[in-house]
């Protein structure tokens, strides 16, 4: 078991500096262009693939870092460069986590490499859980998966929404209802292979922020997939559903559903993304405050500005510590007895919104223009309190965990 430390080792520092250099030299110079274009930045993803950042090997190395700090460190540096482009680079990871959390070794080895493609032909993947009437309320999910025993196939029908890379992905991971009577416990995850008939892209969303990341609806019309595309396999699913039925009948504790297993694993990583965006905005504001003069002196000489910057830095560091703690706990097998994963995501997300807003304020009129990046960072930061569990849902998870009661 890795001992807890606040000091990165030499290998981690080397990776951090390498990622920071890529973010500074490749991501950040392209940020404004792709934000305006509102398109997937394929050339930047290609560059990331060439240097080894957009690859299964890289994310596997970070994922299996025994300290747990590999993934949050990587997320912070890439999102320091730009949130929209970084999400295009790491968005495939959510689908990969879905397979890692629920799939067999064979499924992991078969499908995750296809999510990334190769240097000469990069691919992306999509994790499809949310629906028009089922975002935070996962029990209201309507996408159905029905097993056709005669052909050993699953038939999927429904509409997914807010899917990163939805419709343009090579591989889609879809969460669907297999037993409606069990509510959220009757869900399962499925792989939809490339070019499967019946899957199409619906509406592509024009967003407030993270505009370089593709977000769209995914429509499933009689999508037939082989039985082996059920993550975890049918035997495991049948056993899990049987346990859920028994516990429901006895009023006992219920098992977690497939989507929640994915989100729990990814929440500290989302917190790290928020830390990266907040840190970027803080650094711009700090540099501006040192050089912008009013009434014959730099504006940082005024307590009203200096104290804001002090608070911003303190909150960023506190958010990072929460993220690192949750990541370390997950890597070392320590249970989130106080919903530490949700804590990290909640605090970091709220910090990003607050810090980027303060950065705009410190830059004044300049901060409100697209000539300076804090305007974009402020728009980007809004997503952290919304996706992969809103701040309200995180508070609900924390409150339920602390109280042991089903607070509504």
Active site members: 388
Q: 3-state DSSP call for residue 174?
A: strand
Angle between helices 258-291 and 374-381 (to 10 degrees): 160
Distance of CA 116 to the CA centre of its chain: 16
What DSSP character marks residue 134? B
Tokens 């960023």 sit on residue: 316
- Contact (CB, 8 A) for 129 and 160: yes
Measured between alpha carbons, how far is residue 151 from residues 91, 146, 165 in Å? 33, 12, 30
- Contact (CB, 8 A) for 357 and 378: yes
- Contact (CB, 8 A) for 215 and 164: yes
- Give the count of beta carbons closer than 10 Å to the beta carbon of residue 235: 9
Tokens 């991971």 sit on residue: 173
Measured between alpha carbons, how far is residue 170 from residues 2, 36, 199, 210 in Å? 36, 25, 11, 21
């Amino acid at each position: 078991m890795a001992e807890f430390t606040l000091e990165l080792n030499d290998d981690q520092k080397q990776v951090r500096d390498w990622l920071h250099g890529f973010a500074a030299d490749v991501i950040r110079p392209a940020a404004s262009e792709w934000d305006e274009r509102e398109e997937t930045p394929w050339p930047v993803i290609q560059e990331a693939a060439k240097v080894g950042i957009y690859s299964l090997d890289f994310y596997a190395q970070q994922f299996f870092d025994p300290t747990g700090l590999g993934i949050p460190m990587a997320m912070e540096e890439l999102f320091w460069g730009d949130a929209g482009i970084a999400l295009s680079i790491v968005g495939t990871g959510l689908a990969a986590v879905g397979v890692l959390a629920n799939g067999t070794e064979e499924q992991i080895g078969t499908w995750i490499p296809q999510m990334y493609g190769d240097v000469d032909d990069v691919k992306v993947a999509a994790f499809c859980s949310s629906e028009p009437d089922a975002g935070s309320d996962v029990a209201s999910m309507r996408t159905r998966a029905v097993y056709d025993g005669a052909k050993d196939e699953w038939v999927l029908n429904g509409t997914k929404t807010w899917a990163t890379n939805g419709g343009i992905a090579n591989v889609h991971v879809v969460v669907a209802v297999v037993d409606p009577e069990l509510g959220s416990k009757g869900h399962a995850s499925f792989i939809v292979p490339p070019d499967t008939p019946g899957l199409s892209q619906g509406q592509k969303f024009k967003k407030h922020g993270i505009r370089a990341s593709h977000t769209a609806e995914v429509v499933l019309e009689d999508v037939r997939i082989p039985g082996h595309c059920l993550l975890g396999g049918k035997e495991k699913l049948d056993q899990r559903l049987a346990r859920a039925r028994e516990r429901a009948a006895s009023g006992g504790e219920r098992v977690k559903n497939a989507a929640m297993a994915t989100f729990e694993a990814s929440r500290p990583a989302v917190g790290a993304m928020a830390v990266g965006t907040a840190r970027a905005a803080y650094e711009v504001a700090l540099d501006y405050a040192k050089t912008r003069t009013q009434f014959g002196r730099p504006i940082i000489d005024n307590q009203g500005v200096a104290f804001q910057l002090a608070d911003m830095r303190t909150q960023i560091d506190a958010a990072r510590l929460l993220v690192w703690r949750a990541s370390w706990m997950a890597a070392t097998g320590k249970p989130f007895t106080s919903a530490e994963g949700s804590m990290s995501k909640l605090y970091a997300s709220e910090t990003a919104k607050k810090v980027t807003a303060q950065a705009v304020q410190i830059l004044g009129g300049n901060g409100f223009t697209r000539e300076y990046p804090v305007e974009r960072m402020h728009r980007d930061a809004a997503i952290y309190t919304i996706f992969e569990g809103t701040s309200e849902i995180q508070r609900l998870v924390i409150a339920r965990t602390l109280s042991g009661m089903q607070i509504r």
